[in-house]
Structure 1
């Protein structure tokens, strides 16, 4: 248990975390991986190099400090991160090691002694927060369809666009696949020839449940971040097996009498399409709208399926940044507040948002401009982010 004095000490570090949080967490990851390189089999290397993972951890520390009096307030955050932890294989035995290196990073970067009240308070806080994660993840491991990573066999590979390929997979052992919630993802462990460490990536399940297979639809990325997607596109064939963890994630559609609006940026359509299909089956009379923003028609994947989905009362609008590259499209240019006003339903709606982080930040800002309250905006990150800070821009 945290004492009141320790809670006050934690709260006093909030300005320090705002200014130096990312410095502390970057140092934490550097020293952790230097001493324990085996953990690089678990963590995303690219997110370390770009600083995305350290920034996400710094944000987590900041949120813990802000809500230290009522840690139950961060339960949605805990749930989201715990899903990711379970999907990549984080276990209870990892937490003491992480705590040791995190406190050491605080000492070294904030120039504090080991017995300083700040270090003692954060040590106590980390113990409490770690226990919350361990208990949450224990339940998730118990409820998962299988433990750890299991071989899934590719039974079909389909080109969806110039950038996106779908992989249909079934259990290599022949057992039925467990159900999943539309919007969830699976983690693929890529063992790429020539790479020292394995790479784990999350891919949304892009078709509805109860098909007898899982489907992931993968965009080929460029540069270092594309090492796994390029390997999938170029080297994985029908008959190949992929180690994968059971479906995870809390980005799921909620039953409601209100209209549902799905806003996708590029390949962000993947979890939304699963939601859209299942909602059409479960609540066929619910008004639903898809707004899909893409660079051009050549790169937009799964368009035939979104067109087939769009029958009354379900509407589909394609926003194309470069309309010269496509004969399709309901709006041209980047997504704007005016575009949203044009396509959004008049009555209050629940909005589901997915795509690159910059797209979602801008879209969240545009939704605020059009009067959509924050509690009606639901979103999923492709990466380690945990919360959106809406960018109040005129367009994306």
Structure 2
């Protein structure tokens, strides 16, 4: 339990954290990996190089400081991060390492401004937050379908769009239980020439596991930093090969009341978990509005699956092609939605931020909006 004095000190550091947060987290990661290079087998290198992980951690720390009187306010985000930690096999023994290096980074960046009182307050606060994560993740480990990473054989590969492939896998090593629409698996590979393992989360695109577990992968070639795992899967993995997966994870699932209409909205490869939701909710007889934004029609994945639902009067499809029609905006969505639906959406961080701004302009309550970005969630302002 944190004392009122400790909380007061933490709140007094908010302006400093807002100014130097990313410098602190950048120093933290650099120092931690130098001291514990084995952790490079866990952390996403692309997110590190592009600064996404640093931004996400900085915003997590700032959010904790701002809500220090009521830490339960950030529990939804903590829960999402905990799911990712479980999927990556983050264990309790990792937390003291993170804490030690985070405190070092605060002292390193702030210098004399990091008084003993501030260092002690953040040490205590980190301990409380770490304990929340450890307890939450312990429950997730207990619920997981299997432990650690298990071998799966690739039984089918399909080119869903020019840059997206789906992979269907089966395992003799573990039993795959029914999955929840919106969940993801984590793939672990070790590309030739690399010193470390590479791990990446990929959304499950179907709740039907009759022929195996199916997930989709977009080849990531954006900018100078290419996605190590996605390119490895696209270029090297063939039917008959084995890959390592951890058990399904994630809390991006439809929880709306059975009689509530929902909007499923996606951008690019964000359609992957949305397809699983579409399949599951159609089976339940729910009224659905399905909105997808892509550069053009050629970029739309899962065309075969979408086609089979076109005659279903419970689902209405809307496609927006930015090449010719520009981006989704308030005018377009106002024509489609009535504003009372529960919204489930997925896409890149940029897409999510743009949609959240549109929903704010439409006066849609944030409690109606449920989302999963392809990138660290806390890098989106909450």
TM-score above 0.5? yes
Query: What are the residue-to-residue correspondences of 1:143-158 with 2, within 5 Å?
Result: 143-158=143-158
Alignment partner, residue 378 of structure 2: 386
Alignment partner, residue 355 of structure 1: 347
Q: Distance in 2 between matches of 1:26 and 1:101?
A: 11
Alignment partner, residue 329 of structure 1: none
Matched residues, number:
378
Helix, strand or coil at the partner of 2:39: helix
Query: What are the residue-to-residue correspondences of 1:38-187 with 2, within 5 Å?
Result: 38-112=38-112, 116-173=116-173, 175-187=174-186
Residue 217 of structure 1, CA deviation: 1.2
1:376 aligns to 2:372 (yes or no): no
Q: Distance in 2 between matches of 1:119 and 1:40?
A: 27
Residue 209 of structure 1, CA deviation: 4.2
Residue 307 of structure 1, CA deviation: 2.8
Helix, strand or coil at the partner of 1:224: coil
Specify whether residues 387 and 352 from structure 1 end up closer, same or farther in structure 2 by C-alpha distance, changes over 3 A only.
farther
Alignment partner, residue 356 of structure 2: 364
Q: Distance in 2 between matches of 1:240 and 1:232?
A: 11
Alignment partner, residue 332 of structure 2: 339
Contact 2:292-2:318 at 8 Å conserved across structures: yes
Residue 258 of structure 1, CA deviation: 2.0
Query: What are the residue-to-residue correspondences of 1:190-229 with 2, within 5 Å?
Result: 190-222=189-221, 223-229=224-230
1:262 aligns to 2:264 (yes or no): yes
Helix, strand or coil at the partner of 1:386: helix
Residue 131 of structure 1, CA deviation: 0.7
Helix, strand or coil at the partner of 1:290: strand
Helix, strand or coil at the partner of 2:308: helix
Specify whether residues 111 and 294 from structure 1 end up closer, same or farther in structure 2 by C-alpha distance, changes over 3 A only.
same
Higher relative contact order (CA 8 A, sep 6+): 2
Helix, strand or coil at the partner of 1:230: helix
Q: Distance in 2 between matches of 1:67 and 1:197?
A: 36
Residue 226 of structure 1, CA deviation: 2.4
Alignment partner, residue 235 of structure 2: 234
CA RMSD in angstroms, aligned pairs only = 1.6
Specify whether residues 114 and 333 from structure 1 end up closer, same or farther in structure 2 by C-alpha distance, changes over 3 A only.
closer
Helix, strand or coil at the partner of 1:187: strand
Q: Distance in 2 between matches of 1:209 and 1:7?
A: 48
Residue 114 of structure 1, CA deviation: 7.7
Helix, strand or coil at the partner of 1:119: helix
Contact 2:77-2:377 at 8 Å conserved across structures: no
223-232 vs 95-104, which moves further? 223-232
Helix, strand or coil at the partner of 1:134: helix
Residue 359 of structure 1, CA deviation: 0.9
Give the TM-score normalised by the residue count of structure 1: 0.92
Specify whether residues 69 and 307 from structure 1 end up closer, same or farther in structure 2 by C-alpha distance, changes over 3 A only.
same
1:279 aligns to 2:281 (yes or no): yes
Helix, strand or coil at the partner of 1:253: coil
Q: Deviations over 1:311-358 (max 9, x none)?
A: 1121111111225xxxxxxxx3321211111222x3610111111111
214-223 vs 243-252, which moves further? 214-223
Helix, strand or coil at the partner of 2:298: coil
Q: Distance in 2 between matches of 1:113 and 1:321?
A: 48
Contact 1:351-1:378 at 8 Å conserved across structures: yes
Q: Deviations over 1:205-256 (max 9, x none)?
A: 0012443521111111114232221111111011111111100111111132
Structure 2: gaps (5+ residues): none
